[in-house]
């Protein structure tokens, strides 16, 4: 009997695969049988992900998603794919009164503009096969909850939620499904790279007790959700926000 959760025979593109959640997704997709194409800027970290992939036929495309010509190059270099996970993202902290154009454009560009334009090109060029699955890694922040200092980040994730619903409706005609995953806190490099005044350790300590399941998330927690949304097991699911947050949004 075939396993509906298997990704055997599927080719899946994963952005942000050089680190954190994207790396976890790439690794789990390969373990479930997919050929994986991984995208990021950092060559060494991409290679580390690549070295952890199971099976054969995977590929690396090193690219900066902040640049339109790089998005176009990715699509040109791609084979036909059956799934795409948009995990590349950045976090910038700013109180509302200190938001400036540069900060807002930077975060919108990576978290919202790039994945939307990449999706559009994948559809336009038919690189995305019929009955494909597109997964956006959004957040609970801006969609379900709010944190002080995260207004610009929340704006990018809210934009993705809106896009997911309309795109899901439109692309349903070709059997393509569009969903998002909304994770709670997963300690990754994003926390170290952001301009938050808290250290990663302080954040983990503060947040830990607010998670009913008594732990923070791991990249694998999110990856298992992505595998489900990419697989035929979720073939009647489109347009949803899949919250994976250890119960955080319950309280």
The residue within the footprint of ligand NAP, chosen from 124, 131, 189, 210 (CB under 6 A), is: 189
| Contact residue for ligand NAP among 5, 6, 31, 41 (CB under 6 A) | 41
Among 11, 13, 14, 20, binds ligand NAP (CB under 6 A): 20
Distances from the Cα of 71 to the Cαs of 7, 129, 156, 164, in angstroms?
25, 18, 19, 19
Q: Which is nearer to ligand NAP, 10 or 86 (CB)?
A: 86
Q: Which stretch binds ligand NAP (CB under 6 A): 85-93, 117-125, 164-172, 235-243?
A: 85-93
Concatenating the DSSP letter of every residue in 148-204 gives TT-HHHHHHHHHHHHHHHHHHHHHGGGT-EEEEEEE----SHHHHHS--SS-HHHHH
For the chain, helix, strand, coil in percent to 5 are 45, 20, 35
Helical segments of the chain, H only: 20-31, 43-51, 68-77, 101-108, 114-124, 151-171, 189-193, 200-208, 219-230
Smallest distance, ligand NAP to C-beta of residue 206, A? 13
Is 224 among the catalytic positions? no
**Cβ pair 249, 140 in contact under 8 A:** yes
Max CA pair span of the chain? 58
> Using CB under 6 A as the criterion, what x/- string covers residues 190-219 for binding ligand NAP?
x--x--------------------------
Q: Going by DSSP bridges, is the β-strand pair 59-62/81-86 parallel, antiparallel, or unpaired?
A: unpaired
Within positions 145 to 184, which residues make up the interface with ligand NAP, using CB under 6 A? 183
Q: Which stretch binds ligand NAP (CB under 6 A): 41-49, 53-61, 196-204, 230-238?
A: 41-49
Options 50, 153, 211, 228, the catalytic residue: 153
Q: Classify 128 as helix, strand or coil.
A: strand
Beta bridge partners of 38: 14, 60
Q: Which of 29, 81, 137, 244 binds ligand NAP (CB under 6 A)?
A: 137
Shortest distance, position 147 Cβ to ligand NAP, whole Å: 11
Binding region for ligand NAP (CB under 6 A): 16, 18-22, 40-42, 45, 64-66, 87-90, 110, 137, 139, 183, 185-186, 188-190, 193
Positions annotated as catalytic residues are 153
């Amino acid at each position: 009997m075939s396993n509906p959760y298997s990704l055997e025979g599927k080719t899946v593109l994963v952005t942000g695969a050089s680190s954190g959640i994207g790396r976890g997704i790439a690794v789990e997709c390969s373990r479930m049988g997919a050929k994986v194409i991984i995208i990021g800027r950092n060559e060494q970290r991409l290679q580390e992900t690549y070295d952890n992939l199971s099976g054969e036929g995977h590929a690396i495309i090193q690219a900066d998603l902040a640049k339109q010509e790089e998005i176009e190059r990715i699509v040109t270099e791609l084979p036909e794919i059956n799934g795409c996970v948009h995990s590349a993202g950045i976090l910038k902290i700013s109180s509302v009164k200190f938001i400036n154009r540069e900060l807002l454009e930077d975060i919108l560009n990576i978290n919202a503009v790039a994945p939307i334009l990449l999706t559009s090109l994948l559809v336009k060029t038919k690189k995305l096969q019929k009955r494909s699955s597109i997964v956006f890694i959004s957040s609970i922040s801006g969609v379900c909850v709010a944190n002080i200092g995260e207004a610009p980040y929340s704006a990018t994730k809210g934009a993705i939620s809106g896009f997911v619903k309309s795109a899901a409706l439109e692309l349903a005609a070709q059997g393509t499904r569009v969903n998002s995953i909304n994770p709670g806190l997963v300690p990754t490099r994003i926390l170290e790279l952001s301009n938050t005044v808290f250290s990663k350790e302080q954040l983990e300590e503060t947040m830990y007790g607010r998670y009913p399941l008594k732990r923070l998330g791991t990249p694998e927690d999110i990856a298992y959700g992505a595998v489900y949304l990419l697989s035929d097991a979720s073939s009647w699911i489109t347009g949803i926000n899949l919250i994976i947050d250890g119960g955080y949004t319950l309280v």
